[in-house]
Amino acid sequence: MNDLLNQLGLVGDWLTSSKQWHGAEGIPQRLLEHLTYSGASLLFAALIGLTLGLLVGHTGRGAFAVASVANLARAIPTFGLVVLVVTLAGLSTTPVLVALVALAVPPILINTFEGVRGVDPATRDAARGVGMTEWEVLVRVEVPMALPLILLGLRVAAIQVVATATVAAYPGLGGLGRFIVDGLSRNDYELVIGGSTVVVVLALVVQILFTALRRVIVSPGLRVSASKS
Amino acid sequence: MIRFDAVSKNYPNGTTAVDDLSLELAEGGITVLVGPSGCGKTTTLRMINRMVEPTAGTVSLRGRDIREVNAPELRRGIGYVIQHAGLFPHRTILDNIATVPLLLGWSRKKARARAAELLELVGLPAEMAGRYPSQLSGGQQQRVGVARALGADPPVLLMDEPFSAVDPIVRAELQAEFIRLQKELHKTIVFVTHDIDEAIKLGDNIAVFRTGGRLAQFDTPERLLAQPADDFVAGFVGQDRGIRRLSFLKAAEVPLRDGAVLPATSPVASARAADEPWVLVVDAERRPLGWAAVAELPESGTLADAPLTPLGHTFSLVGDSARAALDSALLSPSRLAVGVDADGAVVGVADAHELSAGVAAAEVPEAAEDAAVDAAPEVAKDGDAESGVSKDEVAKGADAKTGDTAGSVGPGGGER
């Protein structure tokens, strides 16, 4: 118990010491690197996951393939993928991005697909019946109705990416993982725990952002029905 | 208006949904497509707005082959109402109703103003405009569904079992509302249902489909009940079609007698003199007070002192059908139906036998007329419609029971 309190004190000291907040080795710089990797991978992953998910969800074609690929991709160890891509492509940002994108696509893809496919067939039938084109059915009905699930997929992906972007430190690309990797190699647990704390806080912030976003962009009509069921 | 020319719909798995259908639906009326499940009625409906494409034949709307029009554009000009309303849960009621105007490119303001009008037209309060579909009852959602279909004021309305997912009370309400609305709007409506009662209640014309997608009969409700084309139609319209036919006969045409109707001021002796087991006691304005059983009358005094049995319900000679009159007779403690005029004053009473006699008398000329249109030579040979009917019934064989019910109306009328 004392030990734990002691550790917490040390981490507190580490987090508040001024040298952590300045320069290339400081938290702001590492955070920026971390956010750049995370943001870029999430963007690519969303592009792939949303496009495929909407397409397959709307047409119903390739549903089985999507589910299989997404599940398979989930089973790939991120760290292993980084090592593999570094071996193949050399030391650069690419392996980290590839690994993170591979991690983020499945939840986005599956949730988008499920969200669109889960739209009540009667509603879809009505949308076509009143004269919507396929594009209008997708944009005006299916996407708004699938939005709660689409946002869930994006949130899960974002949190995983933010937490996993620490692997960028292994090939020496910086990010918040730097603190953890350095701390581990130097047996400096203060540094490890301090770095981890920042990552955890970042994940929480992402969670809060998505909750707020959901509140703003999901139609109240869908929230009412969700609270009913 | 809407024309099917040798239209078939076959699916790759070998099922035939619609088989060689030729049908022309009149402008400005309600055509009901009715039949058991799997008879192709919904497929037929959905071929009108190209939700289903026929494998053979052509469907034309106002003389134009509907395949010439691009499907979404065609559908924007045809109202579409489905079973569970199919509202968009993420849109407010007002925006749901404004859907088609918005698709047509109206300004948001104009579309919403139109939607507000329609909300009122279908009998929903204005404060519902901002709610979401999940906050409405099934019946209210269905009204919104109808309002949405009317969005761009289309001349044609397709309705696929619109009232079958709500409870019977709400359904009756929606049906009444629908009839009122149609009187106002005069749309050409194609209405699918599996409920023959609903079909008879709403349809100007009824197309009965049989399993396998074949049209069994296309006729007015009256003729469908009076002269079903074959065993299938007779079976489908039901065992009690004789009773249902009464719906088309006005109560005003049934004969009533008033010997058993006595004011409360009359002496008990006059009730005994009426030679009826029951007398109907009325007030000074001839409004019914109740039944008095002659056997239980006091020795002397007036009918005001007699114990009265409640009335059951009366029927109105102004608005009701002969069916309501018969119902009133069967439910009455005296077995006598009480007919009242527009002011609620008693005109007279009749029992079930008298009613059926009157009904038969009122029907004979009409039946003869129908037969004359259908098969003039046969009428000449048969001489009167009565024997025509019984012959018809014999030919039906399997339908003998139904035939008896309907037939008894005829001969009964002759005897009395």
Q: Give pLDDT, residue B363.
A: 62
Average pLDDT over residues B303-309: 84
Measured between alpha carbons, how far is residue B134 from residues B91, B121, B139, B206 in Å?
Answer: 10, 21, 12, 34
**pLDDT greater than 50 at residue B390:** no
* CATH number for the domain whose boundaries are B2-245: 3.40.50.300
Phi then psi for residue B16, to 5 deg, are -110, 115
Express as a percent the part of chain A with pLDDT over 70: 91
Q: Give pLDDT, residue A119.
A: 94
Q: Are A100 and A78 in contact (CB under 8 A)?
A: yes
Average pLDDT over residues B228-256: 81
Express as a percent the part of chain B with pLDDT over 70: 87
Domain B246-416 indexed as CATH 3.40.1010.10: no
Q: E-assigned strands of B27-173?
A: 30-34, 56-61, 64-65, 78-81, 156-160
Entry pTM: 0.72
A130/B103 touch (CB, cutoff 8 Å), yes or no:
yes
Name the band, by pLDDT with cuts 50, 70 and 90, for residue B383: very low
Average pLDDT over residues A133-161: 95
Average pLDDT over residues A195-217: 91
Q: Nearest-CA residue of chain B relative to A125? A: B86
A122/B84 touch (CB, cutoff 8 Å), yes or no:
yes
A residues 135-174 near B, CB within 8 Å? 136, 140-141, 144-145, 147
**pLDDT greater than 80 at residue B131:** yes
Within 10 Å of residue A216's Cβ, how many Cβ atoms?
A: 6
Q: Give pLDDT, residue B132.
A: 95
Helix (H/G/I), strand (E/B), else coil: A204? helix
**pLDDT greater than 90 at residue A100:** no
| Helical (H) or strand (E) element with B9 | strand B2-10
B87/A224 touch (CB, cutoff 8 Å), yes or no:
no
**Residue whose pair of structure tokens reads 């009917």 in the numeric block:** B389
Q: At what angle are helices B385-396 and B400-415 packed, to 10 degrees?
A: 160
Kindly report the length of chain B: 416
Domains of chain B, by residue range, sit at 2-245, 246-416
Nearest to A222 among B73, B76, B90 (CB): B90
Average pLDDT over residues B316-333: 84
Q: Give pLDDT, residue A53.
A: 94
pLDDT in tens, B175-226: 999 999 999 999 999 999 998 889 988 999 999 999 888 999 999 998 888 8
**pLDDT greater than 70 at residue A199:** yes
Q: Are B241 and B234 in contact (CB under 8 A)?
A: yes
Average pLDDT over residues B164-169: 86
- Is A225 touching B (CB cutoff 8 A)? yes
- Is B328 touching A (CB cutoff 8 A)? no
| Helical (H) or strand (E) element with A187 | none
Considering only residues A185 and A147, tell me which one the structure prediction assigns the higher pLDDT.
A147
Considering only residues B249 and B58, tell me which one the structure prediction assigns the higher pLDDT.
B58
Prediction ipTM score? 0.81
Q: What residues are paired with B59 via a beta bridge?
A: B4
Question: What own/partner pairs with CB < 8 Å and gap ≥ 24 does B279-282 have?
Answer: B279/B303, B280/B334, B280/B336, B280/B338, B280/B346, B280/B349, B281/B306, B281/B308, B282/B345, B282/B346
Q: Give pLDDT, residue B142.
A: 93
Q: Which amino acid is at A128?
A: R
Domains of chain A (ranges plus CATH)? 2-228 (1.10.3720.10)
Name the band, by pLDDT with cuts 50, 70 and 90, for residue B314: confident
Residue A134 makes CB contacts below 8 A (sequence gap 6+) with A58
- Is A127 touching B (CB cutoff 8 A)? yes
pLDDT in tens, B20-79: 999 999 888 999 999 988 889 999 999 999 999 999 999 999 989 999 999 999 999 999
Measured between alpha carbons, how far is residue B41 from residues A63, A180, B8, B33, B83 in Å?
Answer: 31, 69, 12, 6, 14
